[in-house]
């Protein structure tokens, strides 16, 4: 697995498939593995690049507070290292402002941009209260993971997959210092000054039942990116888990548009 030194961080990334480059950027959580269930939907016609950024389990850094500019610079360094830019870039949750920052900082490296279930700033009092409560659960690993599951997935989807599957979901959001650092970044986030610098054609994807980052924040991100397009899925926060076929179609139709 290739690794890059970017600032104070060592950033590994994976490469799967062949064809034009598509970069998939993770949000809060252990890292790029969140995309694995969708990989075969893209690798038949794309080289999929999956970076593990600061705050993910595979990355290494000095433990200092994470900035959105640093994450954006890490994405751009990975694109440059592949030698295949400009690339199409998709980012989920915290990955959404991360890829927006990447596109703003290096417009030459991002061909098309797809932020998913993201936000442009943390001024929404709901987000402040949500992230503060999540951090308050840092002394309770089981509660930390259970809260993440409860707010990441819609009520309808939780009932669809059933009790046993829901209980298994809690382990995904393991508690460690890096999760705390990622959530701390969400609380401090503000990329509004960067948005006017985005030149790439952009599709913002929102999730109508999102209880982690409410859909009004997705719509505000869309409004802040000049000339962008917007689509919504009737899902909770993790839209690609609840409606994978619709999600993949939205992304593929947009990045493959002539």
How do residues 198-230 score in pLDDT, each as one tens digit? 999 999 999 999 999 999 999 999 999 999 999
Asked whether residue 87 carries a pLDDT value surpassing 90, the answer given is yes
Report yes or no on 194 lying in a domain. Answer: yes
Output the average pLDDT for the chain. 97
Residue 182 belongs to what H/E stretch?
helix 177-188
Q: Which of 195, 185, 46 is nearest to 113 (CA)?
A: 195
* Active-site annotation, residues: 93, 210, 237
Q: How distant is the alpha carbon of residue 215 from its chain centre?
A: 15
CATH of the domain at 54: 3.40.50.1820
Residue 36: domain span: 3-122+190-256
Report yes or no on 158 lying in a domain. Answer: no
Report yes or no on 20 lying in a domain. Answer: yes
Report yes or no on 141 lying in a domain. Answer: no
How do residues 238-250 score in pLDDT, each as one tens digit? 999 999 999 999 9
Report yes or no on 94 lying in a domain. Answer: yes
Residue 14 belongs to what H/E stretch?
strand 9-17
Is the pTM value of this prediction over 0.75? yes
Number of domains in the chain: 1
Report yes or no on 103 lying in a domain. Answer: yes
How do residues 18-41 score in pLDDT, each as one tens digit? 999 999 999 999 999 999 999 999
Residue 34 to residue 25: CA distance in whole angstroms: 9
Percentage of the chain modeled with pLDDT above 90: 98
How do residues 116-139 score in pLDDT, each as one tens digit? 999 999 999 999 999 999 999 999
From residue 248, alpha-carbon distances to 76, 133, 254 in Å are: 23, 32, 10
């Amino acid at each position: 697995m290739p690794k890059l030194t970017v600032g104070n961080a060592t950033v590994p990334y994976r490469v799967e498939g062949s064809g034009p480059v598509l970069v998939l950027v993770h949000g809060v959580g252990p890292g790029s593995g969140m995309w694995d269930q969708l990989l075969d939907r893209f690798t038949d016609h794309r080289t999929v690049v999956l970076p593990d950024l600061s705050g993910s389990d595979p990355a290494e850094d000095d433990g200092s507070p994470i900035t959105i500019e640093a994450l954006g610079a890490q994405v751009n360094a990975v694109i440059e290292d592949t030698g295949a830019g400009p690339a199409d870039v998709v980012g989920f949750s915290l990955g959404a402002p991360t890829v927006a920052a990447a596109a703003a900082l290096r417009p030459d490296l991002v061909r098309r941009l797809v932020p998913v279930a993201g936000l442009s700033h943390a001024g929404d009092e709901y987000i402040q209260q949500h992230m503060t409560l999540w951090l308050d659960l840092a002394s309770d690993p089981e509660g930390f993971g259970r809260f993440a599951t409860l707010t990441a997935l819609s009520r309808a989807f939780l009932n669809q997959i059933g009790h046993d599957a829901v209980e298994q979901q809690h382990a995904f959001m393991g508690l460690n210092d890096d999760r705390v650092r990622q959530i701390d970044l969400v609380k401090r986030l503000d990329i509004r000054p960067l948005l006017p610098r985005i030149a790439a054609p952009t599709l913002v994807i929102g999730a109508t039942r999102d209880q982690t980052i409410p859909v009004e924040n997705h719509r505000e991100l869309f409004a802040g990116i000049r000339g962008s397009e917007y689509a919504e899925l009737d899902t909770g926060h993790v839209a690609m888990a609840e409606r994978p076929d619709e999600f993949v179609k939205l992304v593929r139709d947009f990045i493959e548009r002539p």
